[in-house]
Amino acid sequence: MPQSIGTPALWGGFLVLVFALMAVDLAAYRRNPHEMSVREASAWTAGWIAVALLFGAGVAWYFGRRPAVEYLTGYVIEYALSVDNLFVFILIFKTFGVPPIYQRRVLLWGILGAMILRAAFILVGAALLSRFEWLLYVFGAFLIYTGGKILSGKDVETHPEHNPVLKLFGKVFPIVRHFGEGKFLVKHRGRWYATALLPVLLVVEATDVVFAVDSIPAIFAVTRDPFIVFTSNVFAILGLRALYFVLKTIMDAFRYLKVGLGLVLVFVGGKMCTEEWVHVPAEISLLIVVSFLGLSIAASLLWPGEPEGDGAGDDAGDVAVKGDDEAANGGATEEEGGGKMNRRNPRGHQ
């Protein structure tokens, strides 16, 4: 493992802090389940950013300027790439017709799963880079390729309903076609069934894995310290759920954001491939990343595109996962939800 500022006590303390923050978030949701308003989501977003910056201030206080700048750069990169995730999450929820009141729950548990998966990715990535230095060039070339695809407009189009995880799950687990009042599982006659919400959660998790393949190598271009990589990742995705409710109605306004993200990926990929010969200080890296993103947002506001439809269509919500026939059409559906899931009556009440 590469050298790290993270001692076992620091790792443990950070995990306790994160789970305490998530427990507060979950308790707030359970006390009053509701669709998060833009004003409430903005307050939560500001709170998460403040916590992340306070943590960065603590890093600067105890470990010095360089680790703090590396943390902040990693946080900005991950936060920006996480915004790209939101485009896909919006598409997923529209495709499966998930009511806004349940989107918050899916995102909450999706974030918990993302933290666990990313922790594994980061630890494995740090171990591989410390043993096989040549992998740095592989990661860098991959980031340049990915950024080039985004800049050329050939980014991969997402079709959540065709996700292989979704197809596999539908074959092995019985599913009812309603949202089970926000539950992921319901029990009927001694047998457990997945509600229509659980496959959505799985698709969100699978999508985050794909995005992690880009974002984690991008932060390794800034620092090899697994503690800084992990903490910057975690704080970025902790604020993702609230940010989703802030931006979901105005996401189309950021038409040039992908250009900024593409430039960031090309820059950090090039930095990875040339760092043996060209040293770019952490402060300069942070300035370049912020400049790319700031200019792309400014360009989006100065030259807005034509307004687009919401893309949901009349068929949104009609995507159903086909499990065994009893679960899809039989007793569990009648007792728990009354048949096919209905956007206007998501709780299954007649």
Is pLDDT of 210 > 50? yes
Cα dihedral 212, 184, 246, 203 in deg (nearest 10):
30
User: In the prediction, which pLDDT does 57 show?
Assistant: 95
CA atoms of 266 and 144, how far apart (whole Å): 4
User: In the prediction, which pLDDT does 159 show?
Assistant: 56
Q: For residue 13, what pLDDT band results from cuts at 50, 70 and 90?
A: very high
Q: Where are the domains of the chain?
A: 28-336
Q: pLDDT digit string (tens) for 40-51?
A: 888 888 999 999
Lowest mean pLDDT: which of 3-17, 90-104, 185-199, 318-332?
318-332
Q: Which of 100, 108, 83 lies closest to 23 in space, CA to CA?
A: 108
Q: For residue 170, what pLDDT band results from cuts at 50, 70 and 90?
A: low
Q: Where are the alpha helices (DSSP H) in the chain?
A: 8-31, 38-63, 65-96, 100-131, 135-151, 164-172, 197-220, 226-238, 240-247, 257-274, 282-302, 325-329, 331-336
Q: Which of 337, 318, 319 lies closest to 327 in space, CA to CA?
A: 337
Q: Which of 299, 308, 221 lies closest to 256 in space, CA to CA?
A: 299
Assign 304 to helix, strand or coil.
coil
| CB contact set of 115 (below 8 Å; sequence gap of 6+) | 18, 233, 234, 237
Q: What percent of the chain has pLDDT over 70?
A: 80
Q: pLDDT digit string (tens) for 122-145?
A: 888 777 777 877 877 887 888 788
Q: For residue 164, what pLDDT band results from cuts at 50, 70 and 90?
A: low
Q: Which residues of 287-318 are buried (b: 16+ CB within 10 A; e: fewer)?
A: ebbbebbeebbebbeeeeeeeeeeeeeeebbe
Q: pLDDT digit string (tens) for 271-323?
A: 878 877 887 787 788 788 888 888 988 998 888 766 554 444 444 444 444 44
Pairing state of beta strands 191-194 and 185-188? antiparallel
| Token pair of 229 as six digits | 């990589």
Residue listed under structure tokens 């303390």: 13
